[in-house]
Structure 1
């Protein structure tokens, strides 16, 4: 007697995909068009998923072979990624985060000072007051403008250099590739899926569409001798 324990929860998505493949086959589509049972695709899918134990039991031998290979296959280690090692000769500096802050703060302050100096200087000139002070303020405003432009350009260059270094480090240290699957395990998995599809799912769906009088699928029977199950699971 077969039960649902023969197909662990990890294989349930495989069975659901097999049901969808069977429902998309021309054989089942044609039977669905000719059937007068009132069942539609979604109802057939629900019935097949509920009858998973009986349907997958038709390929029990293939599943045992697949399970034996999968159990023997070494499990891939799941290790949390480690931080990149520190390069020798480049100690971490406590003030390393100060440069980005200065790259933003200094241009902003210089631009603000430049606007203030120029506004006061040209204002005094317009009013004809303190000509010497007005000239000094205008010169200070232009100087602050140059400082703002220079520091902004330096900050932009620093960001570009940092981005280029990060890209180079990422290219030099690629992520490890996943190991190739075992060919024998892949073949066993495909053989099990094909057996379930041909001996279990398709006959089950055709049996439902032909009516409730057909027999349930026989475990490990040939593809042509596996009629659909009787009654609801």
Structure 2
């Protein structure tokens, strides 16, 4: 059963990898072949590399065409899978319709209207300058606060940094005060 499930996967991988590898091989063979052909006495294998490059280019074109046909067949076989709520099919339940209307109302009142009010209050200002202090409730609390970044201009609290104190080896093993002979 694992072999049957992997067959379509192998075809998909081949449909992607064969054109890519054949195309890159064709480009490399053609580039090197034509560069070698520009040498004063061209090497004998330059013409063979050019022929191999054009064969790979033809193989790339055939693989791309086969992949496109496979994609088209798959698209036609599967057809449209999304359901369109256009009123011709089933009617939406009353709860779903009420939830959709509540969502549209919340989007309008909490998302669009506040920005339009800001724009109408100061139409000459840039969008980033319009709302400096956001009203409470417009951006939800996510459960964490922003990091407190500061600079030296913020005052002495910003410049007080923790200091490092070396390890305190005070036991007898490390030569602390108890281990010193007097």
Q: TM-score range by the shorter chain?
A: 0.3 to 0.5
* Structure label with greater radius of gyration: 1
- Output the TM-score relative to the length of structure 1: 0.33
Higher relative contact order (CA 8 A, sep 6+): 1
- Output the TM-score relative to the length of structure 2: 0.42
Q: Which has the higher helix share?
A: 1
